[in-house]
Amino acid sequence: MNRAFLPFLKSVSIAILAVSSVAYANEHAAPAKADAAKGATLYANGDAARGIVACASCHGEAGNSTISINPKLAAQHEAYINKQLHDFKGADRNNAVMTTFSKALSEDDVKNVAAYLSAQKSKPGAAKNKEIVELGKQIYRAGIAEKNVPACAGCHSPNGVGIPAQYPRLAGQHQDYTIAQLTNFRTGTRKNSPQMVTIAKRMSDDEMKAVADYMAGLK
């Protein structure tokens, strides 16, 4: 090999290594932290340029929905909201409204909105039907042994606040929304929780209504 060529070859090798190092560093850089302030702006105002409607128009100010078929999102666990927004983009939780909006959200949008909502204070709900709330309490706390339905409290905690990054908050949630989701799990319309699909298939309509009413009154 021509000795005069060696310095040039060495320089090229160093340059390649440098570029590779930068590429590796970029690929493995720490993910950007969630920005709750940006999440608050997107939640309240949407983004007309991207066709994103304000989340507040359906889910209420600060995540406290006043529409019974739309869930309350205030104080919901950040990881759970993040997961659901991603699930809406796939086949396991297809929803005519949320699938469209979720697909328009960037990764940062998802993280920011989730961070914002998790920091909000949830307004309490209330049980409506005294005749069935006792049955709901029994199901929530002890399950239905003869149907092999476990106690809801085992995963969602005795007071319904759930377990961060694992199980969602259910306390104070609208009865209509909870019933709809249990029904969706039972029919297979919603498939993004194998555990809930199994459990819901073992419950009757009356049992779903009772436990939904009880959970609405949890604080």
Q: Are residues 210 and 134 in the same domain?
A: yes
Q: What tokens does 87 get?
A: 């699930």
To the question of whether residue 155 is assigned a binding role by annotation, the answer is yes
Closest CA relative to residue 74, chosen from 83, 63, 85: 63
b/e code 13-33 from CB counts within 10 Å (16+ = b): eeeeeeeeeeeeeeeeeeeee
To the question of whether residue 86 is assigned a binding role by annotation, the answer is no
Q: What is the pLDDT of residues 133-191, one digit of tens each?
A: 999 999 999 999 999 999 999 999 999 999 998 899 999 999 999 999 999 999 999 99
Number of domains making up the chain: 2
11/196 Cα distance (integer angstroms): 60
Q: Are residues 140 and 89 in the same domain?
A: no
To the question of whether residue 152 is assigned a binding role by annotation, the answer is yes
Q: What tokens does 96 get?
A: 């005519």
pLDDT averaged over every residue in the chain: 90
To the question of whether residue 208 is assigned a binding role by annotation, the answer is no
Among 118, 140, 169, the domain-final residue is 118
Reported pTM: 0.85
199 occurs within a structural domain:
yes
211: domain CATH number?
1.10.760.10
Q: Are residues 114 and 134 in the same domain?
A: no
Among 118, 152, 168, the domain-final residue is 118
2 occurs within a structural domain:
no
To the question of whether residue 28 is assigned a binding role by annotation, the answer is no
To the question of whether residue 156 is assigned a binding role by annotation, the answer is yes
To the question of whether residue 98 is assigned a binding role by annotation, the answer is yes
162 occurs within a structural domain:
yes
- State the DSSP code for 148: T
Instruction: pLDDT band for 67, please (50, 70, 90 cuts).
Output: very high
Range of the domain at 194: 130-216
